[in-house]
Amino acid sequence: MSLEIKIPEVGESITEVVIGAWLKGDGDYVEQDEIIAEIETDKATQEFPAEASGILKIKVQEGETVEVGSVIAEIDTDAKSSGNGAASKEETPSAKPVKEEQSASTAKKTGEIKEMHVSELGESITEVTLASWFKQDGDFVELDETIAEIESDKATFELPAEANGILRTVAKEGDTLEIGALLCKIEVMEGKPAEKATAKASSAEPVKAGGDDQTSYAAGHPSPAAAKILDEKGISSQDVKGTGVGGRVTKEDAERAQKAEQSAKTQPSAQPEASPAVYGERNERREKMSNLRKTISRRLVSVKNETAMLTTFNEVDMKPIMDLRKKYKDQFKEKYGVGLGFMSFFTKACCQALKEWPAVNASIDGEELVYHDYCDISIAVSTPRGLVVPVIRNAENMNFQGIESEIIRLAGKARDGKLSIEEMSGGTFTITNGGVFGSMLSTPIINAPQSAILGMHNIVERPVAINGQVEIRPIMYVALSYDHRIIDGRESVSFLVRVKELLEDPTRLMLGV
Protein backbone atom coordinates (compact mmCIF):
# COMPACT_ATOMS: atom_id res chain seq x y z
CA MET A 1 0.00 0.00 0.00
CA SER A 2 1.29 3.45 -0.95
CA LEU A 3 0.50 6.28 1.50
CA GLU A 4 0.52 9.84 0.12
CA ILE A 5 2.30 12.41 2.32
CA LYS A 6 0.71 15.87 2.02
CA ILE A 7 1.51 19.30 3.42
CA PRO A 8 -0.88 19.84 6.36
CA GLU A 9 -2.48 23.09 7.48
CA VAL A 10 0.23 25.07 9.32
CA GLY A 11 -1.62 28.31 10.09
CA GLU A 12 -4.61 30.39 9.06
CA SER A 13 -2.64 32.87 6.94
CA ILE A 14 -0.17 30.37 5.45
CA THR A 15 -1.04 29.00 2.00
CA GLU A 16 2.33 27.67 0.83
CA VAL A 17 5.59 26.31 2.23
CA VAL A 18 9.14 25.63 1.04
CA ILE A 19 10.79 22.22 1.32
CA GLY A 20 13.81 23.29 3.34
CA ALA A 21 15.63 19.96 3.52
CA TRP A 22 15.03 16.24 3.22
CA LEU A 23 16.50 14.48 6.23
CA LYS A 24 15.94 11.08 4.60
CA GLY A 25 16.87 10.11 1.06
CA ASP A 26 14.68 8.74 -1.72
CA GLY A 27 14.39 4.98 -1.18
CA ASP A 28 15.29 5.11 2.51
CA TYR A 29 13.37 3.06 5.03
CA VAL A 30 11.64 5.33 7.57
CA GLU A 31 9.90 4.66 10.88
CA GLN A 32 6.54 6.12 11.82
CA ASP A 33 6.92 9.57 13.47
CA GLU A 34 10.59 9.76 12.42
CA ILE A 35 11.53 13.25 11.18
CA ILE A 36 12.01 13.03 7.42
CA ALA A 37 12.07 16.67 6.29
CA GLU A 38 12.09 20.33 7.28
CA ILE A 39 9.48 22.68 5.83
CA GLU A 40 9.76 26.44 5.98
CA THR A 41 7.04 29.07 6.07
CA ASP A 42 7.42 32.85 6.17
CA LYS A 43 7.16 32.60 9.96
CA ALA A 44 9.02 29.51 11.14
CA THR A 45 10.78 26.27 10.25
CA GLN A 46 8.97 23.05 11.20
CA GLU A 47 9.95 19.39 11.28
CA PHE A 48 7.92 16.98 9.18
CA PRO A 49 7.39 13.46 10.62
CA ALA A 50 6.66 10.28 8.72
CA GLU A 51 3.01 9.23 8.96
CA ALA A 52 3.85 5.51 8.69
CA SER A 53 6.75 3.08 8.44
CA GLY A 54 8.00 2.01 5.02
CA ILE A 55 10.08 2.98 1.98
CA LEU A 56 10.15 6.73 1.22
CA LYS A 57 9.57 7.97 -2.33
CA ILE A 58 10.25 11.70 -2.70
CA LYS A 59 8.02 13.65 -5.12
CA VAL A 60 9.13 17.26 -4.44
CA GLN A 61 12.77 18.37 -4.30
CA GLU A 62 14.45 20.64 -1.78
CA GLY A 63 13.92 24.36 -2.34
CA GLU A 64 10.60 23.94 -4.17
CA THR A 65 7.56 25.96 -3.06
CA VAL A 66 4.36 23.94 -2.71
CA GLU A 67 0.82 24.77 -1.65
CA VAL A 68 -0.80 23.43 1.50
CA GLY A 69 -2.36 20.04 0.71
CA SER A 70 0.15 19.15 -2.02
CA VAL A 71 1.66 15.66 -2.15
CA ILE A 72 5.39 15.82 -1.45
CA ALA A 73 6.17 12.12 -0.98
CA GLU A 74 4.79 8.60 -0.75
CA ILE A 75 5.54 5.81 1.73
CA ASP A 76 5.34 2.17 0.65
CA THR A 77 3.92 0.73 3.88
CA ASP A 78 4.01 -2.87 2.59
CA ALA A 79 7.80 -2.72 2.58
CA LYS A 80 7.81 -2.92 6.35
CA SER A 81 7.01 -6.64 6.40
CA SER A 82 8.37 -7.69 2.98
CA GLY A 83 11.80 -8.98 2.13
CA ASN A 84 12.58 -5.94 0.04
CA GLY A 85 11.64 -3.67 2.89
CA ALA A 86 13.94 -5.51 5.26
CA ALA A 87 16.75 -5.35 2.74
CA SER A 88 16.29 -1.62 2.26
CA LYS A 89 16.36 -1.12 5.97
CA GLU A 90 19.69 -2.92 6.22
CA GLU A 91 21.28 -1.18 3.23
CA THR A 92 20.33 2.37 4.21
CA PRO A 93 20.09 2.44 7.97
CA SER A 94 18.77 5.54 9.63
CA ALA A 95 20.66 7.37 12.35
CA LYS A 96 18.34 6.11 15.04
CA PRO A 97 18.95 2.31 14.81
CA VAL A 98 22.74 2.77 14.57
CA LYS A 99 22.74 5.03 17.59
CA GLU A 100 20.80 2.47 19.56
CA GLU A 101 23.15 -0.33 18.54
CA GLN A 102 26.21 1.67 19.61
CA SER A 103 24.89 2.56 23.01
CA ALA A 104 23.18 -0.74 23.79
CA SER A 105 26.48 -2.46 24.44
CA THR A 106 27.39 -0.14 27.32
CA ALA A 107 24.09 1.23 28.68
CA LYS A 108 20.52 0.05 28.99
CA LYS A 109 17.47 1.91 27.74
CA THR A 110 14.53 2.10 30.09
CA GLY A 111 11.97 2.77 27.37
CA GLU A 112 10.98 6.06 29.02
CA ILE A 113 10.93 9.23 26.91
CA LYS A 114 11.49 12.48 28.84
CA GLU A 115 10.05 15.53 27.09
CA MET A 116 11.58 18.93 27.87
CA HIS A 117 9.44 22.02 27.39
CA VAL A 118 10.06 25.77 27.70
CA SER A 119 9.36 26.51 31.35
CA GLU A 120 7.78 29.61 32.89
CA LEU A 121 10.43 32.35 33.14
CA GLY A 122 8.42 35.32 34.39
CA GLU A 123 5.00 36.92 34.23
CA SER A 124 5.77 39.18 31.26
CA ILE A 125 7.67 36.60 29.18
CA THR A 126 5.54 34.75 26.63
CA GLU A 127 8.22 33.53 24.21
CA VAL A 128 11.93 32.75 24.04
CA THR A 129 14.54 32.14 21.34
CA LEU A 130 16.65 28.99 21.22
CA ALA A 131 20.09 30.58 20.96
CA SER A 132 22.24 27.47 20.62
CA TRP A 133 22.48 23.75 21.29
CA PHE A 134 25.55 22.70 23.29
CA LYS A 135 24.77 19.06 22.50
CA GLN A 136 23.80 17.56 19.16
CA ASP A 137 20.95 15.26 18.25
CA GLY A 138 21.93 11.71 19.19
CA ASP A 139 24.48 12.72 21.85
CA PHE A 140 24.41 11.11 25.29
CA VAL A 141 23.63 13.69 28.00
CA GLU A 142 23.77 13.45 31.77
CA LEU A 143 21.25 14.74 34.31
CA ASP A 144 21.69 18.51 34.96
CA GLU A 145 24.28 18.84 32.17
CA THR A 146 23.82 22.10 30.24
CA ILE A 147 22.55 21.19 26.79
CA ALA A 148 21.31 24.50 25.37
CA GLU A 149 21.03 28.23 25.84
CA ILE A 150 17.76 30.12 25.51
CA GLU A 151 17.21 33.88 25.32
CA SER A 152 14.28 35.95 26.48
CA ASP A 153 13.85 39.68 25.92
CA LYS A 154 15.46 40.26 29.31
CA ALA A 155 18.12 37.62 29.94
CA THR A 156 19.90 34.48 28.72
CA PHE A 157 19.33 31.15 30.49
CA GLU A 158 21.12 27.82 30.44
CA LEU A 159 18.99 24.71 29.88
CA PRO A 160 20.00 21.65 31.96
CA ALA A 161 19.15 18.08 30.95
CA GLU A 162 16.31 16.58 33.00
CA ALA A 163 17.51 12.97 32.67
CA ASN A 164 20.37 10.70 31.54
CA GLY A 165 20.02 9.41 28.02
CA ILE A 166 20.13 10.07 24.29
CA LEU A 167 19.16 13.60 23.21
CA ARG A 168 16.63 14.00 20.42
CA THR A 169 16.37 17.69 19.50
CA VAL A 170 13.04 19.06 18.29
CA ALA A 171 13.50 22.84 18.19
CA LYS A 172 16.21 24.36 15.99
CA GLU A 173 18.71 27.12 16.76
CA GLY A 174 17.13 30.51 16.10
CA ASP A 175 13.56 29.26 16.57
CA THR A 176 11.21 31.50 18.56
CA LEU A 177 9.15 29.36 20.94
CA GLU A 178 6.19 30.03 23.18
CA ILE A 179 6.19 29.07 26.84
CA GLY A 180 5.37 25.37 27.09
CA ALA A 181 6.67 24.51 23.61
CA LEU A 182 8.56 21.23 23.15
CA LEU A 183 12.33 21.73 23.02
CA CYS A 184 13.65 18.18 22.90
CA LYS A 185 13.19 14.59 24.05
CA ILE A 186 15.56 12.39 26.02
CA GLU A 187 15.54 8.61 25.61
CA VAL A 188 16.17 7.75 29.26
CA MET A 189 18.99 5.28 29.93
CA GLU A 190 20.40 3.49 32.94
CA GLY A 191 24.17 3.72 33.19
CA LYS A 192 26.61 5.66 31.04
CA PRO A 193 27.77 4.60 27.56
CA ALA A 194 31.44 4.04 26.87
CA GLU A 195 33.41 6.87 25.32
CA LYS A 196 32.95 5.48 21.81
CA ALA A 197 29.20 5.27 22.23
CA THR A 198 28.95 8.94 23.28
CA ALA A 199 31.01 10.28 20.39
CA LYS A 200 29.21 12.09 17.59
CA ALA A 201 27.87 9.38 15.31
CA SER A 202 28.65 10.80 11.92
CA SER A 203 28.45 7.25 10.57
CA ALA A 204 24.88 7.06 11.80
CA GLU A 205 23.75 9.54 9.15
CA PRO A 206 21.60 7.91 6.47
CA VAL A 207 23.25 7.51 3.07
CA LYS A 208 21.86 7.25 -0.42
CA ALA A 209 21.35 3.74 -1.69
CA GLY A 210 23.29 2.66 -4.73
CA GLY A 211 26.00 5.36 -4.58
CA ASP A 212 29.59 4.11 -4.81
CA ASP A 213 31.00 7.00 -2.79
CA GLN A 214 28.15 6.89 -0.24
CA THR A 215 27.88 10.71 -0.29
CA SER A 216 25.49 12.01 2.38
CA TYR A 217 22.35 13.70 1.13
CA ALA A 218 22.97 16.46 3.74
CA ALA A 219 26.20 17.58 2.06
CA GLY A 220 26.00 21.21 0.95
CA HIS A 221 22.59 21.78 2.50
CA PRO A 222 22.36 24.51 5.15
CA SER A 223 20.41 24.28 8.37
CA PRO A 224 17.52 26.80 8.62
CA ALA A 225 19.61 29.14 10.82
CA ALA A 226 22.56 28.88 8.41
CA ALA A 227 20.32 29.50 5.40
CA LYS A 228 19.05 32.76 6.88
CA ILE A 229 22.58 34.00 7.56
CA LEU A 230 23.74 33.08 4.05
CA ASP A 231 20.72 34.86 2.53
CA GLU A 232 21.60 38.02 4.48
CA LYS A 233 25.19 37.84 3.22
CA GLY A 234 24.13 37.03 -0.33
CA ILE A 235 26.18 33.81 -0.42
CA SER A 236 25.09 30.56 -2.05
CA SER A 237 25.20 27.48 0.20
CA GLN A 238 26.97 25.63 -2.63
CA ASP A 239 29.98 27.92 -2.14
CA VAL A 240 30.33 27.06 1.56
CA LYS A 241 32.02 23.92 2.82
CA GLY A 242 29.88 22.25 5.46
CA THR A 243 31.50 20.90 8.61
CA GLY A 244 28.33 19.45 10.13
CA VAL A 245 27.19 15.85 10.16
CA GLY A 246 27.23 14.48 6.63
CA GLY A 247 28.70 17.72 5.25
CA ARG A 248 25.72 19.85 6.34
CA VAL A 249 26.34 23.61 6.41
CA THR A 250 26.00 24.69 10.03
CA LYS A 251 25.26 28.08 11.55
CA GLU A 252 28.97 28.48 12.40
CA ASP A 253 29.95 27.71 8.79
CA ALA A 254 27.58 30.42 7.59
CA GLU A 255 28.92 32.98 10.06
CA ARG A 256 32.50 32.31 8.91
CA ALA A 257 31.62 32.43 5.21
CA GLN A 258 32.75 35.48 3.25
CA LYS A 259 31.22 36.77 0.04
CA ALA A 260 34.69 36.91 -1.48
CA GLU A 261 34.55 33.10 -1.82
CA GLN A 262 32.16 33.34 -4.73
CA SER A 263 33.26 36.63 -6.27
CA ALA A 264 36.15 34.94 -8.10
CA LYS A 265 33.77 32.47 -9.75
CA THR A 266 31.67 35.12 -11.51
CA GLN A 267 34.13 37.12 -13.62
CA PRO A 268 32.43 39.52 -16.07
CA SER A 269 32.79 38.64 -19.73
CA ALA A 270 33.29 42.22 -20.81
CA GLN A 271 35.89 44.68 -19.57
CA PRO A 272 34.21 46.82 -16.89
CA GLU A 273 34.35 50.57 -17.01
CA ALA A 274 37.05 52.23 -14.96
CA SER A 275 35.88 53.01 -11.44
CA PRO A 276 37.22 55.65 -9.07
CA ALA A 277 40.33 54.64 -7.18
CA VAL A 278 39.73 53.43 -3.62
CA TYR A 279 42.48 53.72 -1.04
CA GLY A 280 42.20 51.34 1.88
CA GLU A 281 39.83 48.51 2.73
CA ARG A 282 36.04 48.87 2.57
CA ASN A 283 34.88 45.85 4.51
CA GLU A 284 31.39 45.43 5.90
CA ARG A 285 29.89 42.86 8.19
CA ARG A 286 26.35 41.97 9.16
CA GLU A 287 25.20 40.57 12.46
CA LYS A 288 21.75 39.32 13.31
CA MET A 289 20.08 41.38 16.01
CA SER A 290 19.84 39.56 19.31
CA ASN A 291 16.45 38.95 20.85
CA LEU A 292 17.33 41.44 23.61
CA ARG A 293 18.30 44.14 21.11
CA LYS A 294 15.11 43.64 19.09
CA THR A 295 13.01 43.90 22.23
CA ILE A 296 14.80 47.06 23.37
CA SER A 297 14.21 48.63 19.94
CA ARG A 298 10.55 47.68 19.90
CA ARG A 299 9.89 49.02 23.39
CA LEU A 300 11.71 52.31 22.88
CA VAL A 301 9.73 53.03 19.72
CA SER A 302 6.53 52.01 21.51
CA VAL A 303 7.22 54.45 24.36
CA LYS A 304 7.84 57.32 21.93
CA ASN A 305 4.59 56.56 20.11
CA GLU A 306 2.33 55.82 23.09
CA THR A 307 3.34 58.44 25.67
CA ALA A 308 3.18 62.23 25.78
CA MET A 309 6.87 62.47 26.64
CA LEU A 310 8.48 65.78 27.57
CA THR A 311 11.85 66.60 29.13
CA THR A 312 12.75 69.31 31.62
CA PHE A 313 16.33 70.29 32.50
CA ASN A 314 18.27 71.79 35.38
CA GLU A 315 21.83 72.01 36.61
CA VAL A 316 23.40 70.87 39.86
CA ASP A 317 26.44 72.32 41.60
CA MET A 318 28.29 69.15 42.56
CA LYS A 319 30.92 70.82 44.77
CA PRO A 320 29.19 70.06 48.12
CA ILE A 321 28.90 66.35 47.29
CA MET A 322 32.43 66.18 45.90
CA ASP A 323 33.83 67.86 49.03
CA LEU A 324 31.88 65.43 51.23
CA ARG A 325 33.12 62.41 49.26
CA LYS A 326 36.70 63.63 49.34
CA LYS A 327 36.55 64.05 53.12
CA TYR A 328 34.91 60.72 54.02
CA LYS A 329 35.39 58.30 51.10
CA ASP A 330 38.42 56.54 52.64
CA GLN A 331 36.68 56.04 55.99
CA PHE A 332 33.51 54.90 54.21
CA LYS A 333 35.43 52.36 52.12
CA GLU A 334 37.34 51.09 55.14
CA LYS A 335 34.18 50.60 57.22
CA TYR A 336 31.76 49.21 54.62
CA GLY A 337 34.03 47.73 51.94
CA VAL A 338 32.37 49.70 49.11
CA GLY A 339 33.14 53.06 47.54
CA LEU A 340 31.01 56.16 48.09
CA GLY A 341 29.77 57.05 44.60
CA PHE A 342 27.41 59.64 43.19
CA MET A 343 24.60 57.12 42.54
CA SER A 344 23.76 56.71 46.23
CA PHE A 345 23.32 60.50 46.60
CA PHE A 346 21.08 60.69 43.52
CA THR A 347 19.07 57.64 44.62
CA LYS A 348 18.47 59.06 48.09
CA ALA A 349 17.53 62.48 46.66
CA CYS A 350 15.10 60.94 44.15
CA CYS A 351 13.43 58.78 46.82
CA GLN A 352 12.80 61.82 49.01
CA ALA A 353 11.50 63.88 46.08
CA LEU A 354 9.26 61.01 44.92
CA LYS A 355 7.53 60.96 48.30
CA GLU A 356 6.79 64.68 47.97
CA TRP A 357 5.63 64.40 44.33
CA PRO A 358 3.93 60.96 44.13
CA ALA A 359 2.71 61.44 40.53
CA VAL A 360 6.32 61.11 39.33
CA ASN A 361 6.40 57.69 41.04
CA ALA A 362 3.07 56.57 39.56
CA SER A 363 2.06 54.70 36.40
CA ILE A 364 -0.95 54.31 34.11
CA ASP A 365 -2.80 50.98 33.97
CA GLY A 366 -5.59 51.17 31.43
CA GLU A 367 -7.87 53.93 32.65
CA GLU A 368 -6.46 53.95 36.19
CA LEU A 369 -3.55 55.75 37.82
CA VAL A 370 -1.43 53.53 40.08
CA TYR A 371 0.37 55.37 42.90
CA HIS A 372 3.18 53.56 44.73
CA ASP A 373 3.99 54.24 48.38
CA TYR A 374 7.42 52.68 47.92
CA CYS A 375 10.40 53.52 45.70
CA ASP A 376 11.72 50.69 43.52
CA ILE A 377 14.53 52.46 41.70
CA SER A 378 15.64 51.01 38.35
CA ILE A 379 19.32 51.59 37.55
CA ALA A 380 20.24 51.50 33.83
CA VAL A 381 23.34 49.35 33.23
CA SER A 382 25.14 49.06 29.89
CA THR A 383 26.29 45.51 29.05
CA PRO A 384 27.90 43.95 25.95
CA ARG A 385 24.49 42.49 25.02
CA GLY A 386 22.56 45.73 25.46
CA LEU A 387 20.96 47.94 28.09
CA VAL A 388 19.39 46.23 31.12
CA VAL A 389 17.64 47.85 34.05
CA PRO A 390 17.88 45.95 37.37
CA VAL A 391 15.80 47.23 40.29
CA ILE A 392 16.75 48.33 43.82
CA ARG A 393 13.72 47.37 45.94
CA ASN A 394 12.47 49.75 48.63
CA ALA A 395 15.38 52.10 48.12
CA GLU A 396 13.68 54.68 50.36
CA ASN A 397 14.51 52.51 53.41
CA MET A 398 18.18 51.94 52.52
CA ASN A 399 21.23 53.89 53.70
CA PHE A 400 24.17 54.95 51.53
CA GLN A 401 26.12 51.76 52.21
CA GLY A 402 23.12 49.57 51.34
CA ILE A 403 22.47 51.40 48.07
CA GLU A 404 26.11 51.27 46.95
CA SER A 405 26.38 47.57 47.79
CA GLU A 406 23.19 46.73 45.89
CA ILE A 407 24.29 48.73 42.84
CA ILE A 408 27.62 46.88 42.72
CA ARG A 409 25.89 43.50 43.06
CA LEU A 410 23.30 44.15 40.36
CA ALA A 411 25.74 45.77 37.92
CA GLY A 412 28.13 42.82 38.27
CA LYS A 413 25.39 40.29 37.57
CA ALA A 414 24.16 42.37 34.64
CA ARG A 415 27.56 42.42 32.93
CA ASP A 416 27.94 38.66 33.51
CA GLY A 417 24.46 38.02 32.08
CA LYS A 418 23.33 36.42 35.36
CA LEU A 419 20.43 38.69 36.31
CA SER A 420 17.20 36.89 37.15
CA ILE A 421 13.81 37.92 35.83
CA GLU A 422 12.76 39.03 39.32
CA GLU A 423 15.76 41.35 39.57
CA MET A 424 14.70 43.15 36.39
CA SER A 425 10.93 43.16 36.88
CA GLY A 426 8.97 46.09 38.26
CA GLY A 427 10.51 49.41 39.14
CA THR A 428 8.67 52.68 39.73
CA PHE A 429 11.33 55.21 38.64
CA THR A 430 14.58 54.98 36.66
CA ILE A 431 17.98 56.67 36.92
CA THR A 432 20.42 56.52 34.00
CA ASN A 433 23.95 57.92 33.98
CA GLY A 434 25.18 58.85 30.53
CA GLY A 435 27.89 60.93 32.13
CA VAL A 436 30.13 57.89 32.53
CA PHE A 437 30.46 57.89 28.73
CA GLY A 438 31.01 61.66 28.51
CA SER A 439 27.46 62.80 27.69
CA MET A 440 26.90 66.49 28.44
CA LEU A 441 23.14 66.53 27.88
CA SER A 442 20.47 64.11 26.66
CA THR A 443 16.74 63.40 26.71
CA PRO A 444 16.38 59.89 28.18
CA ILE A 445 13.43 57.75 27.08
CA ILE A 446 10.94 56.62 29.72
CA ASN A 447 11.20 53.02 30.90
CA ALA A 448 7.57 51.91 30.44
CA PRO A 449 5.26 51.41 32.27
CA GLN A 450 7.00 53.95 34.53
CA SER A 451 6.17 57.61 34.04
CA ALA A 452 9.55 59.31 34.51
CA ILE A 453 13.31 58.84 34.22
CA LEU A 454 16.19 60.97 35.51
CA GLY A 455 19.25 61.41 33.32
CA MET A 456 22.65 62.18 34.87
CA HIS A 457 25.49 63.63 32.77
CA ASN A 458 29.17 64.46 32.98
CA ILE A 459 30.57 66.97 35.46
CA VAL A 460 32.26 69.98 33.86
CA GLU A 461 33.85 72.99 35.50
CA ARG A 462 31.84 76.04 34.46
CA PRO A 463 31.80 79.72 35.48
CA VAL A 464 28.74 80.46 37.61
CA ALA A 465 27.57 83.43 39.65
CA ILE A 466 27.79 82.81 43.42
CA ASN A 467 26.65 85.69 45.64
CA GLY A 468 27.44 88.20 42.92
CA GLN A 469 30.86 86.72 42.19
CA VAL A 470 31.92 84.56 39.26
CA GLU A 471 33.31 81.22 40.45
CA ILE A 472 34.40 78.02 38.70
CA ARG A 473 32.21 75.16 39.93
CA PRO A 474 31.78 71.47 38.92
CA ILE A 475 28.37 71.53 37.24
CA MET A 476 26.22 68.60 36.10
CA TYR A 477 23.22 69.02 33.82
CA VAL A 478 20.29 66.78 34.81
CA ALA A 479 17.24 65.90 32.71
CA LEU A 480 13.85 64.54 33.71
CA SER A 481 11.81 62.93 30.94
CA TYR A 482 8.20 62.36 31.97
CA ASP A 483 4.80 61.30 30.67
CA HIS A 484 2.67 64.42 30.44
CA ARG A 485 -0.50 62.31 30.61
CA ILE A 486 0.04 61.77 34.33
CA ILE A 487 2.67 64.34 35.35
CA ASP A 488 1.97 68.05 34.91
CA GLY A 489 4.63 70.67 34.28
CA ARG A 490 4.43 71.98 37.83
CA GLU A 491 5.09 68.54 39.28
CA SER A 492 7.95 67.67 36.93
CA VAL A 493 9.77 70.97 37.39
CA SER A 494 9.19 70.98 41.16
CA PHE A 495 10.47 67.42 41.45
CA LEU A 496 13.70 68.27 39.60
CA VAL A 497 14.21 71.44 41.64
CA ARG A 498 13.79 69.41 44.83
CA VAL A 499 16.43 66.90 43.65
CA LYS A 500 18.75 69.82 42.88
CA GLU A 501 18.24 71.31 46.39
CA LEU A 502 18.96 68.01 48.12
CA LEU A 503 22.12 67.39 46.09
CA GLU A 504 23.49 70.88 46.56
CA ASP A 505 22.97 70.61 50.31
CA PRO A 506 23.66 66.96 51.26
CA THR A 507 22.85 67.72 54.90
CA ARG A 508 19.19 67.77 53.88
CA LEU A 509 19.52 64.17 52.73
CA MET A 510 20.71 63.17 56.18
CA LEU A 511 17.96 65.09 57.96
CA GLY A 512 15.19 64.44 55.43
CA VAL A 513 14.26 68.13 55.13
411-437 pLDDT tens trace = 888 888 888 888 888 899 999 998 888
CATH class as words, domain 106-194+220-234+246-256: mainly beta
3-state SS, 386-415, equals EEECCEECCHHHCCHHHHHHHHHHHHHHHH
* Type of residue numbered 203: S
CATH class as words, domain 308-511: alpha beta
pLDDT in the model for residue 42: 58
**Does the active-site annotation cover 221?**
no
pLDDT in the model for residue 465: 92
What letter does residue 399 receive in the DSSP assignment? -
E-strand ranges in 374-433 read: 377-379, 381-383, 386-388, 391-392, 429-433
**CATH code 3.30.559.10 region(s) in the chain:** 308-511
Angle between helices 342-356 and 489-504 (to 10 degrees): 140
**Does the active-site annotation cover 484?**
yes
Of 200, 148, 206, give the one whose Cα is nearest residue 173: 148
Q: Which of 33, 231, 330, 488 is catalytic?
A: 488
**CATH code 2.40.50.100 region(s) in the chain:** 1-93, 106-194+220-234+246-256
Is residue 167 within 8 Å of 135, Cβ to Cβ?
Answer: yes
What CA–CA distance (Å, rounded) separates 203 from 95?
A: 8
* Type of residue numbered 348: K
Of 394, 396, 433, 429, give the one whose Cα is nearest residue 411: 433
1-93 folds as OB fold (Dihydrolipoamide Acetyltransferase, E2P) (2.40.50)
- Which residues are registered as beta bridge partners of 73? 5, 58
Give 10-residue mean pLDDT values along the chain (513 residues): 81 73 85 82 71 87 84 81 42 42 58 87 76 88 88 78 90 87 89 55 41 49 70 76 70 71 47 68 81 75 84 95 92 90 93 94 90 93 81 93 92 84 88 90 90 94 92 95 93 95 89 75
DSSP SS3 for 31: coil
What CA–CA distance (Å, rounded) separates 93 from 209?
A: 10
